[in-house]
Structure 1
Amino acid sequence: MNLELFIARKIHFSQDGGRQVAPPAVRIAMIGIALGLAVMILSVAIIVGFKKEVRNKVIGFGSHIQITNFDNNSSFESTPITIPAGLRDSLRAFPGISHVETFATKPGILKTDNDFQGIVLKGIDEDFDWTFFRDNLKEGEIFTIDPKKNSTDVLISRYLTDLLGLKVDDTFLAYFMQEDASRTRRFHITGIYETGFLDYDKLFIIGDIKQVRRLNEWEDDQVSGVELQVSDYDQLDQIAENLFFTLSEKQDRLGNTYYTRSIKELNPMIFSWLDVLDVNVVVILILMLAVAGFTMISGLLIIILERTNMIGILKALGQNNTSIRKIFLYVSFFIIGKGMLWGNIIGILICIIQSYFRLIPLDASTYYLDAVPIDLSLSSLFLLNIGTLSAAMLMMLAPSFLITQIDPAKTIRFE
């Protein structure tokens, strides 16, 4: 029989008139643990969800890896590269690559009778993955690419349709500059998308790649670049590096050098900003653990002081300090466990409510999202609970040393 555990259960679960007795300091410590863990669960879920949502939106517009012309500048008026069928097959077979698609871009001006807006026409081919835009489609439908027909159908953002007073099935004129001459194209809106990422929503129109080739007077195998999707985002940097060295010494039939960059390299400011959020999570976790730990320390000290007479009696009966410390560490474990149980209930419940009902909104123009995102995995939840329990129990070791200072001869005479 575990004597220390037996005594600890008697101390913690003692009943008085049918109800459990708990000093106010113990209840406060339990509440501190519960609120601390709930805040940590929410912090991790929100930060991970925010990073994933913003990252997915950036990737949705630019994929994981882009292969372009080495001579390109940072503008959307790109220098083309040629993509032979053999290179496509090699990229599809490259380790870690799950999807390959080509694209071409052309900056222009979208004009109606009342207003105008600078845009980028992104031409896509039959191999384009529509998953991202299908998930963010608000009105209309996705158009199809006919390899034998130059389509005028486009997908346009809600920001642009609201700005210019357009709707599904409307047509509009877009103007493109080409060697000091202006070229006009009329496009037909088949669908309206809205991602909440205004930096891109107010810029991109998705259309047929053949339109861009005609505007730029390119041949059928010329494109602005190739977009690649990886099967495992955690391996993105390594895959991009391997591709860079594989293609850096290759040239297309016109002598152009291939330039491979990951989405992190294409958008360094956004991904650096997302990395900074990890620091915020660490600070929050440390603060919450500190607050919860100090409330638990005060609670344990109160319990020890209240049980001074009992400690003196146990020492007089031959119980050593280590054994008595174990008793109060068990008591601490019960208090921490109960607080963590309520902390998990509160944190997970709030996460579920926010995930399904999106009660807490955000300004999309500032945060790129219209509501606080939630992404809580079982692994994160498990690590938070294990970390909280371990840190709290380690912090209980110091106050438990107070037991060694209690003299049984001085304590058992007092009630």
Structure 2
Amino acid sequence: MPAFELFIGLRYTRAKRRNHFISFISLISMAGIALGVAALIVVLSVMNGFQDELRSRILGVAAHIQITGSDNTLTDWRRVAAEASRHPEVTAAAPYIMAQNMLTYDSAVQGAIVRGIVPELESGVAQFSSHMKQGQLADLRAGEFGIVLGSELARALGARVGDKVVVMAPQGQVTPAGVVPRLKQFTVKGIFEVGMYEYDYGLALINMDDAARLYRMGDRVSGVRLALKDLYRAPQVAHDLLDMVHGDVYISDWTRQHANFFRAIQIEKNVMFIILLLIVAVAAFNIVSTLVMAVTDKQADIAILRTLGASPASIMKIFIVQGALIGTIGMVIGVAGGVALALNIDVVVPAIERLFGIHFMAKDVYYISELPSKLEVTDVVYIASVSFILTLLATLYPSYRASKTNPAEALRYE
């Protein structure tokens, strides 16, 4: 772009106008773009934070990869765990026995999934130890028939540490009176709280040896759970394990088990991006009205430039520079403000709550009581790029209109 076109475009932007309304509309356009860009960055950062927080809570209990047999049992789990552990991405492996059960205490009855685990191995694939409210996972010793309950499950049963809970196994036993469910009394050794209702209300843990005796599994287990160095590589690792693990096994990863949940979050994020982008679009197209009025205000200047030899393309570039500068200033302010707010949302939100005496996410209602935020550089670059493109598109019509100005007509009444 020739220097004189850039010079004149910048000069028009800085110059004081006879029509102050044009300057006011320019400021409104900048403010609108800045507000829209900042809102987009903050909202997407908060949604990224929520997504990561929920993923960490889910994967704190669910395995990255799960290996089961064709009939939902494995007869030689040690071999399967050893073969899977040869993969460089696998950091830990732990067997488990799992079944649906009814738990009773006093007069309360609740259905739950009871998972038999090896406590020392389970700590490698799940984060129960860091979520224990009472007791320890190591208290689940073989032969003692101890049980660890989710916090909501314990509350529903009214059970506390030290109480005796009866577990009714789904497999029945034949008696002279007919087939009746097997009952076993377990002592509550601890209570965990992951922060996900699905697990806090519907999961209980016992020692795997006790589970094998209760469900008459013998040396069989339900499957093997794996932890990975990089959880995002789970689909690829699961595919690799199909060739590494021998036997008739089924391998699934966390992206399959919770696909609908995370897909819903991603769809919500995309919809929010489109909705908030409309703010930027409205502000960007305010530039159209700004430049149309500026073109009308500068009719005489355009005519003089044309008579001095400026081409229509040069006139068009002058006003593109003017509109692009308005949009760029708004975009830069928005990016700076949005990044600053996204990085300090853990300070800003509590300050607003104290100032107005409100609480956005009460602890007694939401498991996540603070707004998490994760700023992604790619999101910032994408938002800034889209905003700049919208700004350039908004400058095309007014600039084209300016390039079509007839010098004779414009100077007739000057």
Fold-level similarity (TM above 0.5)? yes
Q: Aligned partners of 1:136 and 1:385: how far apart in 2?
A: 40
Question: Which residue is 1:48 aligned to?
Answer: 48
The answer as to whether partners of 2:346 and 2:370 remain within 8 angstroms in 1 is no
8 Å CA contact 1:325, 1:403 repeated in 2: yes
Q: Aligned partners of 2:143 and 2:413: how far apart in 1?
A: 97
Q: 1:142 to 1:319 in 2, by over 3 A?
A: farther
Q: Secondary structure at the match of 2:189?
A: strand
CA distance in 2, matches of 1:328, 1:136: 60
Change (3 A) 1:361 1:25: same
2:137 equivalent to 1:143: yes
Percent of aligned positions that are identical? 23
What code does the residue aligned with 1:209 have? M
2: CA distance between counterparts of 1:228 and 1:65?
A: 5
TM-score, scaled relative to structure 1: 0.81
Corresponding residue SS for 2:138: coil
Alignment partner, residue 254 of structure 1:
none
Distance 2:366 2:260 in 1: 14
The 1-side partners of 2:344 and 2:150 are apart by 29
Aligned counterparts, 1:233-312, within 5 A: 233-244=231-242, 246-247=244-245, 250-251=246-247, 257-281=248-272, 283-284=274-275, 287-312=278-303
Structure 2 gaps of 5+ residues are: 173-179, 354-358
Question: Do the aligned partners of residues 352 and 286 (structure 1) sit closer, same or farther apart at CA in structure 2, a change above 3 Å counting?
Answer: closer
Aligned to 2:127: 132
Report Cα offsets for 1:287-320 as digits up to 9, x if no partner. 3443233222222223222222222222222222
* Contact 1:106–1:212 (Cα < 8 Å) also in 2: no
2:199 is matched with 200
Match of 2:176 in 1: none
Does the C-alpha gap of structure 1 residues 174 and 353 become closer, same or farther in structure 2, counting only changes over 3 Å? farther
Greater CA drift, 270-279 or 197-206: 270-279
Preserved contact between residue 143 and residue 153 of structure 1 (Cα < 8 Å): no
Letter paired with 1:277: E
- Please, what TM-score do these two structures have when normalized by structure 2? 0.82
Is structure 2 residue 315 aligned with structure 1 residue 314?
A: no
Against the structure 1 CA distance between its residues 267 and 95, is the aligned structure 2 distance closer, same or farther, given a 3 Å change threshold?
same
Would you say 1:344 and 2:335 are equivalent positions? yes
What runs of 5+ residues in structure 1 fail to find an aligned partner? 73-79, 252-256
For each residue in 1:70-118, what CA deviation from the matched residue of structure 2 results, as whole angstroms up to 9, or x when unmatched? 123xxxxxxx313354432321122533332222213323322242322
Please say if 1:335 is aligned against 2:342: no
Q: Distance in 1 between matches of 2:364 and 2:63?
A: 22
Q: Following superposition of structure 1 onto structure 2, how do residues 347-358 of structure 1 map, counting pairs within 5 Å?
A: 347-355=338-346, 357=349
The 8 Å contact of residues 143 and 154 in structure 1, kept in 2 or not, is answered as: no
| Equivalent position of 2:150 in the other structure | 157
Q: What is the aligned residue count?
A: 393
Change (3 A) 1:59 1:293: same
2: CA distance, partners of 1:304 / 1:383: 31
- Cα distance in structure 1, aligned partners of 2:207 and 2:339: 45
TM-aligned CA distance change 1:135 to 1:289, over 3 Å:
farther
Query: After the TM superposition, which parts of structure 1 deviate over 6 Å for at least 4 consecutive aligned residues?
Result: 363-368
Q: 5 Å matches for 1:159-174? A: 159-167=152-160, 169-174=161-166
Letter paired with 2:374: D
Q: Distance in 1 between matches of 2:322 and 2:412?
A: 25
1:375 aligns with 2:374: yes
Match of 1:77 in 2: none
Q: Please report how far the alpha carbon of residue 151 of structure 1 lies from its aligned counterpart in structure 2 after TM superposition.
A: 5.2
Instruction: Return the letter of the residue paired with 2:25.
Output: A
SS in 2 for 1:56: helix
Aligned equivalents of 2:269, 2:275: Cα separation in 1: 10
1:93 counterpart letter in structure 2: R
Amino acid at match of 1:3: F
What's the C-alpha RMSD, in Å, of the aligned pairs?
3.3
Contact 1:198–1:364 (CA under 8 A) maintained in structure 2:
no
- SS in structure 2 opposite 1:223? coil
CA distance in structure 2 between the partners assigned to 1:159 and 1:343 by the alignment: 43
- Kept in 1: contact 2:77–2:223 (CA 8 A): no
CA contact (8 A) 2:134 2:192 kept: yes
